[in-house]
Structure 1
Amino acid sequence: MAFAGKTVLVAGGAKNLGGLISRAFAEQGANVVVHYNSASSEAAADETVAAVEAAGASALKASGDLTVPANVAALFAAAKERFGGVDVAVNTVGKVLRKPIAETTEEEYDSMAAINAKAAYFFIKEAGKALNDNGKIVSIVTALLGAFTDGYSTYAGGKAPVEHYTRAAAKEFAPRGISVNNVAPGPMDTPFFYGQETPERVAFHKSQALGNQLTKIEDIVPLVVFLSGAGWWITGQTIFANGGYTTR
C-alpha cells in the first residue's frame, strides 16, 4: 500500500470531502489524524475513525477551532506525540457564504477571513514546522478563484490568499523536500453548497461542467492522494478540478 507506515493529518477530516479523504488514506495503509471543529461534528468524526480502523489503519481523533493558531500547533503536536511524525497534511477547512457586498456585516467578513485564510495560513505554517522531510501539504481552495461572478466576495476573497501562502511555502519548505499545493474544486455536491444557492442557480452550475453535474467529493479525493504521493514533483500549484466549470 502506497502510504503504509505514513501518517496523514486531515483538518476537517470528519465528514464530506474530509471524511472521504481520511478513509482513502486509511485504505492505502496510512495512520490518520481525523480533525473536527466542534461537538456538532464529533459523531461524524467517530464514524470516520471507525472506518479508518476498519480498514486496518490507526486513527487519532482531535478537535479544535483552527482559527486559533495555538489550536493548530496543538493539533500537530498531538499527531507527533501519537505517531512520531506527520508525512501528509491536508486542509479541507472552509466556510461558504453567498451574500452581496452591500449586505455583508463586519462579523461575517471577519469569520470568513478567519476560517478561509487565517486558519489556512497557520495550518501551512505548523505543517512546515512539523512535517517529516519530503512531506506533502495540500489545501482545498475553490474554482471561484478563476471565476468572475457575484455574491461570493468573502468566500473567493478568503481563499485567494491561500495561493500566495502556498507559493511562498513551496519555496521556503523546498530544502526539506516538502511539496505544497492547492486543489480547487468546482461547486461541490455537499450540504455546504446547497444552503447558499437557489434551485435555478444549482441547475446553471451543473450546466457548466462535464456531464451536467456538480463536482463530487469522489472526483477530488484521488487528486489529493496523487499530490501526496506520486505527484510529489508538483509544488506551488493550484490544480483546478471542476469538469471544465472554469479556468484561468
Structure 2
Amino acid sequence: SVVASFVHRDSQWIRARYERNEFEFIEKQEPYSAGYREGFLWKRGRDNGQFLSRKFILSEREGALKYFNKQDAREPKAVMKIETLNATFQPAKIGNPCGLQITYLKDNSTRNIFVYHSDAKEMVDWFNAIRAARFHYLQVAFPGASDEEVRTHTEGFKKRWFTMDDRRLMYFKDPLDAYARGEVFIGSKENSYTVLPGLPPTTQGYHWNHGITIVTPDRKFLFACETEAEQRDWIAAFQRVINRPMRPQEYAGNFRESLTRL
C-alpha cells in the first residue's frame, strides 16, 4: 500500500541517519508500549515560529495526544483525538532533519503542529507510536476491515487542483503551477476501472460527505469534494471516460507510463 511504503521509506531514511552516527544521542527513553508514551519535544509556535520545549502525552486509553505549555500544567494546551491523528516527516518544512508534522481535526478543520527532537531515534519512536495508536484505533473501530485496508486508509487529505485531459487526471498544488505534481490514468470499465461515490469507512477524513473512489486494477484513489454539486460533476466526468472503450494508442500510452513508473 502507499501508506506502508511511505512509512517504510521514512523509517529507512531516519534509520540510515542514526545508524551512521550522524546524530548524537543525548537521551534514551522507553519505546512506545502499553498504549502510552510521554516526553518533551520542541514545538514551533503558531505566531512567532519559535520552537519551545513542550511536554507531550500519547494515551490510547484516553484516545488522544496532548501537549502542555508548562511542565507542571494540569490542563493541556491542545487535545488531539487519535481518531483523526496523523504524522509525517517534514524536515524541509520544519528546518530540522528530525522534523515531524502532526495533523488532526478540530471543528471539522485540519490543524497542523510542527515538532522535532535532537535525537533521531526519539523522533522515529514518536512517529511509530502515533501510527500504532491510529492503527489500533481503526482495528477496533472497523473490526471487519483487513489489516491491509486499515493501513491503506490512514492518510489525511491535501487540497489539490485537478484537471482531466482525455484519460489523464492531473493534479497541481496551485492552479498556476507550470507542471503537474502527478497524474492518474483513467482506463475503461473493460479494464476493471470503476468510479464509486463516497469513501471507504476506514478513511481518515471520512467526515467528508462528498467523497469519490476510483478503482483501478492496481489500487484505489480517494478524493473528496467540498460540495455535492462538485462531486456529482466529477463522477459524471469520470463515468463518461470509463464507459468509453480504450483506443489502441491509449493502451500503448498507458503501457509506456507503466514502464516509466517501474
Q: Which is higher, the Rg of structure 1 or of structure 2? A: 2
TM-score clears 0.5: no
Q: TM-score, normalised by structure 1?
A: 0.24
Q: TM-score, normalised by structure 2?
A: 0.23
Structure ranking higher on relative contact order (CA contacts 8 Å, 6+ apart):
1
Higher helix share: 1
